[in-house]
Amino acid sequence: MSHYSALSIARNALSGHSNWDPAWRSPEPAAAYDAIVIGGGGHGLATAYYLVRVHGLVKVAVLEKGWIGGGNTGRNTTIIRSNYFYPESAAFYEFSLKQYERLSSELNFNIMFSQRGVLVLGHSRHDMEMHRRSANAMRLNGIDADILSRDEVAKLVPALDCSPQARFPIWGGMIQRRGGTARHDAVAWGYARAADARGVDIIQNCEVTGFTIHQGQVTGVETTRGAIKSNRIGIAVAGHSSILAAKAGFRLPVKSYALQAMVSEPLKPVLDTVVLSPATGTYLSQSDKGELVIGGGLDLYASYAQRGNLPVNENTITGMLAMFPTFSRVRMLRHWGGVCDVVHDSSPIIGKTPVQGLYLSCGWGTGGFKAIPAGGYCLAHTMATGEPHELNAAFGLDRFDTGALIDEAAAASIPH
Amino acid sequence: MLNIECPHCGARPEHEFRCGGDAHVVRPPLSASGETWAEYLFGHDNPKGDQTERWCHSFGCGLWFNVIRDTVSHEIRAVYPITAQRPEQAA
Ligand SMILES: Cc1cc2nc3c(=O)[nH]c(=O)nc-3n(C[C@H](O)[C@H](O)[C@H](O)COP(=O)(O)OP(=O)(O)OC[C@H]3O[C@@H](n4cnc5c(N)ncnc54)[C@H](O)[C@@H]3O)c2cc1C
Ligand SMILES: [Zn+2]
């Protein structure tokens, strides 16, 4: 792998940028691997990377039915934050945020992580009381959180309608200043390139269609490119988790819903932080290209369609206009959806399954982009050692039997 | 936008309705094991394709009824009463 640097850009400029090495190979699948990760999203690619980098596994493959990063990883609104309530979540997401802070240099790939702050608005006295409670919980867990007054919010986000006539008046907000955004594709590509450089086979256009299981132990997968053997397999397929679980003979506490987002035409700089409004159900930021990146709540019924429906789209836009009336003439450029793996307590499932040697990472729902480094790290640890890391010990499938749910529904700010 | 056939009011746009999740989920007896209760509370078939689900015409007549809907195309294949068995499927 050639190192990316200012020098390499200059050197390649001499040949008109026509001689760059491909960022990863496209090998044929081997007959067997020490470990297989199903799903070439951020979580699958990060898992493969940490399996090799941290645990020294040698023969590892990622099997992706389409192209890497083509699922939710390449469809999300890229918000990264660790403002969760419970200690287990705080430790997990903060670990992830810390990895993000150094990921560009670790992977030698610019993921454009921009810690521009994530602001959750408060629209009533009660909102502000709940924000204070969250901020206190976060600080007790060692995570930065500040409460902003109405005037401080107005100063930070001048375009926001903070007048008393606003449909949902602004009372203040809670901000995590270390939160922000990153380039989603770059996270997938950066992990892919770094994993490939360490020998991981990234195999695209390879859909897993079944498992071979011998006396309760997984022994391989069947794919559209033939059977591949491995007795250590991780599933990281987001909205398709239930489908693969069914092929391995078990059910999951997961329901798949479409979550949609859209971007506007590029504008001059107008918004340099991420703003979420629990009252309007809309959140937005402005990308480095100038587009407004706008998201809202989940569609209201289960779906495997990678597109959002129009009523929810209209709600989201209406919510944005209630917050930013000045955007009423802005035109939208693109609108899309992703299939999210939603779990009852809005916390992930990372760990063992009823099948020996088969591991699972899912339940990321609407918020798993921020979790890619930690999710990959923990799934890799669980696959390599057979036991969960302390960061994911509380996030096993067994919590639904024991009732030890970690209900982070409120942490999303938008009812998801 | 779905156009849903309320058995009482006829075809109406989706935003008059509320989806109430999986249909035909049977509550276990109180003596059932923790695992059975967990399955009842949290487990889902979550099919990619036809799914049975309950809907309520909440901003209309308030009736609850069952629907078979394709989770990929969102096409509604059947509408039937809330207490009825899943019908032989209309293709
Ligand atoms: C509109 C939208 C906005 C979002 N906003 C945010 C946000 O702001 N912040 C945040 O943290 N999170 C956000 N999320 C959630 C986040 O995108 C996901 O939780 C995260 O990307 C999940 O990563 P993943 O690797 O698990 O899944 P994916 O990226 O979906 O990857 C799974 C891969 O598995 C592949 N696959 C599926 N079935 C098979 C099979 N049988 N064989 C082989 N491969 C298979 C798929 O093709 C896919 O590429 C958002 C999601 C959406 C849809
Ligand atoms: Zn009706």
Q: List chain A pLDDT tens, one digit each, 416 residues.
A: 789 999 999 999 999 999 999 999 999 999 999 999 999 999 999 999 999 999 999 999 999 999 999 999 999 999 999 999 999 999 999 999 999 999 999 999 999 999 999 999 999 999 999 999 999 999 999 999 999 999 999 999 999 999 999 999 999 999 999 999 999 999 999 999 999 999 999 999 999 999 999 999 999 999 999 999 999 999 999 999 999 999 999 999 999 999 999 999 999 999 999 999 999 999 999 999 999 999 999 999 999 999 999 999 999 999 999 999 999 999 999 999 999 999 999 999 999 999 999 999 999 999 999 999 999 999 999 999 999 999 999 999 999 999 999 999 887 777 65
* Cα distance between residue A57 and residue A50, in whole Å: 9
- Structure tokens of A394? 């509380």
CA B23 from chain center: how many Å? 4
CA A348 from chain center: how many Å? 11
pLDDT at A416: 59
Cβ A220 under 6 angstroms from ligand 1: no
* % of residues, chain B, pLDDT over 90: 92
**Contact across the interface for A305 and B73, Cβ inside 8 Å:** yes
- Location of each CATH 3.30.9.10 domain in chain A: 118-179+255-342
Minimal Cβ distance to B46: which of A256, A311, A344? A256
Dmax over CA atoms of chain A, in Å, equals: 67
**pLDDT exceeds 80 at position B91:** no
Domain boundaries, chain B: 3-90
Give the H/E segment covering residue A109.
none
The protein residue with its alpha carbon nearest to ligand 1, atom 53, reads A338
DSSP state at residue B48: S
Residue of B nearest to A299 (CA): B19
**Contact across the interface for A253 and B42, Cβ inside 8 Å:** yes
Cβ A368 under 6 angstroms from ligand 1: yes
pLDDT at B88: 78
CA A262 from chain center: how many Å? 17
Name the CATH superfamily, with its identifier, for domain B3-90: Folate-binding superfamily (3.30.2270.10)
Residue of A nearest to B68 (CA): A302
Neighbours of A310 (CB within 10 A): 12
pLDDT at A171: 98
Reading phi first (left if > 0) and then psi (alpha if -120 to 50, else beta), residue A73 is in alpha
- Location of each CATH 3.50.50.60 domain in chain A: 29-109+184-253+345-411
* Cα distance between residue A63 and residue B32, in whole Å: 40
- Structure tokens of A90? 């705080």
Split at pLDDT 50, 70, 90, the class of B1 is confident
What CATH code is assigned to A118-179+255-342? Answer: 3.30.9.10
* Cα distance between residue A362 and residue A385, in whole Å: 19
Spatial strand order of the sheet with A226-229 comes to A208-214, A217-223, A226-229
Chain A residues in contact with B1 by the CB 8 A cut-off are 309-311
* Cα distance between residue A353 and residue A347, in whole Å: 17
DSSP state at residue A208: E
Q: Kindly report the nearest CA distance between residue B84 and chain A, in angstroms.
A: 21
* Cα distance between residue A327 and residue A162, in whole Å: 15
| Closest alpha carbon to A135 in A148, A117, A154 | A148
pLDDT at B89: 60
User: Residue A204 carries which side chain, given as an amino acid letter?
Assistant: Q
Angle subtended at Cα B33 by Cα B30 and Cα B36, rounded to the nearest 5 degrees: 95
What CATH code is assigned to A29-109+184-253+345-411? Answer: 3.50.50.60
| Closest alpha carbon to A317 in A271, A260, A257 | A260
How does DSSP assign A305-374, residue by residue? -SS--HHHHHHHHHHHHHH-GGGGGPPEEEEEEEEEEEETTS--EEEE-SSBTEEEEE--TT--STTHHH
* Cα distance between residue A97 and residue A109, in whole Å: 17
Give the H/E segment covering residue A239.
none
